[in-house]
């Protein structure tokens, strides 16, 4: 095992991951406050301080497990993780069922915007002639990390953001049935991850779509700086 290569990979991904999870969770809290629930704001969770959002298992242990799984199994799952969920009292939102869609979607949207920002940085670095591999790899990592986290969280199963969006979109009876899955949702998602079902049928196809969309958006800038 090449430990120096592992350390370099950790250093490249550390900043993009911290930004990805911190802005993701802060976005939930900010949008919840906008729509009437200031719970996260009062608890200090609408902040860019990553220490407020780190979950010992989800942010540290699970990514390490999946990282080494990826190394051991060719084409294995992405090294994913999660932060402490931002507390939201949906009953305090102005229109709970409708507004929960915006609150839930805010996190993945913030990840796509960050992927776009890292893409701009990558193109600008290339355009001004920066050839330092570390910074170029970090920008690429920022794109990949945010697309993966955003797409993963859109998986339509509570407690993931996509599950909450689905609950908000469905009629009341169907929404209630889906919401009842939430206490078991984490274990279902973990099992689907380990079985590579989410990886094969959700992550890889949609991350590919994300890259294609970014290429279209960033193409004018790339042509301008080429």
The catalytic residues are 25
How far apart are alpha carbons 24 and 114 in whole angstroms?
Answer: 9
How far apart are alpha carbons 222 and 226 in whole angstroms?
Answer: 6
Residue 88 token pair = 């939201």
Rounded to the nearest 10 degrees, how much is the dihedral formed by the CA atoms of 138, 140, 142, 148? Answer: -140
Phi-psi region of 36 (alpha: psi -120 to 50; beta: other; left: phi over 0): left
The set of residues, in sequence order, having a beta carbon less than 8 Å from that of 156 and lying 6+ positions away, is 162, 163, 165, 166
Bond prior to 205 in cis (omega within 30° of 0): no
How far apart are alpha carbons 145 and 150 in whole angstroms?
Answer: 8
Residue 166 token pair = 């689905």
Q: Assess contact for 81 and 53: CB atoms under 8 A.
A: no
Residue 74 token pair = 């060719």
Q: Assess contact for 178 and 140: CB atoms under 8 A.
A: no
């Amino acid at each position: 095992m090449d430990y120096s290569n592992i350390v370099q990979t950790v250093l490249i991904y550390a900043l993009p991951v911290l930004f990805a999870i911190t802005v993701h969770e802060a976005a939930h809290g900010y949008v919840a406050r906008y729509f009437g629930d200031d719970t996260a704001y009062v608890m200090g969770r609408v902040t860019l301080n990553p220490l407020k959002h780190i979950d010992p298992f989800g942010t540290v242990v699970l990514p390490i497990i999946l990282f080494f799984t990826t190394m051991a199994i060719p084409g294995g799952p992405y090294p994913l993780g999660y932060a402490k969920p931002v507390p939201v009292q949906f009953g305090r939102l102005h229109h709970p069922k409708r507004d929960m869609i915006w609150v839930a979607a805010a996190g993945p949207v913030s990840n796509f915007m960050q992927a776009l920002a890292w893409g701009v940085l990558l193109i600008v670095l290339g355009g001004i002639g920066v050839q330092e591999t570390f910074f170029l790899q970090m920008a690429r990592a920022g794109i990949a990390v945010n697309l993966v986290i955003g797409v993963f969280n859109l998986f339509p199963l509570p407690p993931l953001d996509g599950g909450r969006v689905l609950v908000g979109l469905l009629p009341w009876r169907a929404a209630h049935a889906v919401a009842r899955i939430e206490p078991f949702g984490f274990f279902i998602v973990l099992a689907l991850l380990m079985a590579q079902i989410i990886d094969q049928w959700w992550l890889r196809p949609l991350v590919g779509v994300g890259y294609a969309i970014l290429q279209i958006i960033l193409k004018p800038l790339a042509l301008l700086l080429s």
